Amino acid sequence: MLAVLVNGRILTDDGVVDGKGLLIENGRIAALVDAAELPADASVHDLRGGWLVPGFIDTQVNGGGGVLFNDAPTAETIAAIGAAHRPFGTTGFLPTLISDDLSVVDQAMRATEAAIAAGVPGVLGIHIEGPFLNAKRKGIHDAGKFRVIDDAALALLGSLKAGKTLVTLAPETTTPDMVRQLTDAGVIVAAGHTNAAYGTMRRALAAGLTGFTHLFNAMSPLTSREPGVVGAALESQTAWCGLIVDGRHVDPAVLRIALRTRPLDRFMLVTDAMPTVGMIDKSFDLQGRQIHVVDGVCVDAHGTLAGSDLDMAGAVRNAMAMLGLSLGDAVTMAATAPAAFLGLSAQRGRIAVGQAADLVLLDDALQVQATWIDGLVA
C-alpha cells in the first residue's frame, strides 16, 4: 500500500523540506520524492501547507479520555488512553502505572502485552512509576503501597514479553547491584520520587540508570553543599530528563537554566497526563482522593500536584513560548529524544527513510490537524 503526503513543510534531520512528497509504503517512510516522481498508484494526502513533524512520544501517561490506568489495568484502558491522546499528536506512549500492589503491576504488564498483541495504535510498552519510591518525596503517590525491590519484584519487572519496560524508582531504597540487575534484564531505569544524595545518584548512574522522571519535581534539589538528584541530573551529559512544561510544575526560568547545562536531545517533554485530557469533566478519583484541575494542573484537596491536564501538542507549544525553543528543538524533545531514551531511534522519532510513518500534521498555530501511526491516518 502506497501513500504520499504532498504540499507540506516537512521537518527532517537536515531542516525543513519544501516542495517534495513523503512516500509511505507498508507503514514506513519510503522516500522524499519530487512531484514528477510520485507513483501513479499512490493515494495522495494534501497537507495544505502545514508542518509535518515526527509523531510525539510520551513516556509518562497515567490516563486520558476519562480513564486512569491504575483503575482498570486492561488492554481496553490502554486503547482508550491512546485514543484520547492521539488527537494531540501522541503517536507513541507508555501507559503509566503509579504506585500500587505488585498484583496490579502484574495485571498492567500483562495488559500491555495484550494491547501490543491486539495492535493497539501507539503503545510502546509500560512505565511503572513506583512503588519503589521514597515516602519523603511521595508527591501524590500512596506511601502505603511503597516497598523495596526484592527477587520477586525483580523477576516481575523483567517479565514483559513485548514492548519496553520503564521503571521509576528511588535509588536510595535499593542498591547499585539491583539497578544493574534490572538493566541486565532489559528494564530502563529512571530516578524519581527520590531523596537520594548526590553520591547515591552517581552510583546509580554508573550502574545503568539512564533517566530522571519529571526533573525537579519530587526529588532532592540542588543546593550549595549537596547537589542532590537535581545536581546529578544536570551534571550528567548522557541521561535523559523528562520535563513537564506546563508553567506550573516547574518555573520556566528554571527550565531555561536547565537547558543550558546539557545537550538538548537529552531532555524529553512528558505530560504526566491524567484522565482529564480530552475530557470536558476536569475531575476524577485517584485511589480514594478527589482530584480537580485548577489552572491547568491536577491537584488534590490540599493542593498537592497530582499529574497534569497537559497534552503533547500543548507541551510543544509551551516549550516554544516559555523556553524560547524553535519548532525543531521542541519536536526533538517531543519525539527524537524519547525515542532514543527507549532505544527506538532506529524505528521512530524522526522523519527519515526507513522510520515508522508516525507523523503529525500541524497548522501555523501548531494545532494538530492529523496524525499517522505506522502509516495509518486519523
58 annotated active-site: no
Question: Which residue stretches of the chain are H helix?
Answer: 75-85, 102-117, 151-157, 176-184, 198-206, 228-235, 252-259, 312-323, 327-331, 337-341
140 is in an annotated binding site: yes
89 is in an annotated binding site: no
> d(Cα 197, Cα 113) in Å, to the nearest integer?
36
249 is in an annotated binding site: yes
Annotated catalytic residue, options 272, 311, 329, 358: 272
307 is in an annotated binding site: yes
> CB-based contacts of 208: which residues, under 8 Å, 6+ apart?
179, 180, 182, 183, 184, 189
What are 265's three cell numbers? 536531545
* HSE, side-chain direction, 13 A CA sphere, residue 324: 9
Residue 345 CB neighbours (<10 A): 14
For residue 125, give the amino acid letter. G
Which candidate, 230, 149, 228, 239, places its Cα nearest to that of 196? 228
What are 74's three cell numbers? 486492561
DSSP character for 287?
T
193 is in an annotated binding site: yes
What are 54's three cell numbers? 515526527
214 is in an annotated binding site: yes
302 is in an annotated binding site: no
- Report the catalytic residues: 272
Annotated binding site: 129, 140, 193, 214, 217-218, 225, 249, 305-307
Annotated binding site for substrate: 140, 217-218, 225, 249, 305-307
